[in-house]
Amino acid sequence: QKEVEQNSGPLSVPEGAIASLNCTYSDRVSQSFFWYRQYSGKSPELIMSIYSNGDKEDGRFTAQLNKASQYVSLLIRDSQPSDSATYLCAVNPPGGSARQLTFGSGTQLTVLP
């Protein structure tokens, strides 16, 4: 059973702080990793993708991947109340495209004004 694990939270940070969200995955050969943001009652919105070890930055977001530790994280700098949402980690297995995403249960983030 391929699993993606996340702390469910809730995680609360003050406005302007760095929010750190973590995810581990069980399938060592996973190749593609994604972070989605899901507001309550809405659909998942892709915010970051990462495919190789190291850091990838996009605006206030930084994704970090460590395949040896089977660990992927998302840092949100200068957190804003509008960042309050559930963040979903998703993993894509190898073997070509059009593969399923396996989602974690999500971490609920609250940014306090």
Which residues contact other proteins (rule: CB under 8 A)? 32, 34, 36, 42-46, 49, 51, 88, 90, 92, 96-106
Nearest distance, CB of residue 62 and other proteins, angstroms: 18
Distance of alpha carbon 96 from alpha carbon 22, whole angstroms: 26
95 CB-contact burial (10 Å; exposed 0-12 / middle 13-18 / buried 19+):
exposed
Nearest distance, CB of residue 113 and other proteins, angstroms: 27
Nearest residue (CB) to other proteins, 51 versus 66: 51
Dihedral sign, Cα of residue 65, residue 66, residue 69, residue 74: negative
Distance of alpha carbon 12 from alpha carbon 68, whole angstroms: 29
Nearest residue (CB) to other proteins, 8 versus 80: 8
Nearest residue (CB) to other proteins, 66 versus 105: 105
Q: Which residues pair with 12 in a beta bridge?
A: 110
Nearest distance, CB of residue 16 and other proteins, angstroms: 28
Nearest distance, CB of residue 32 and other proteins, angstroms: 5
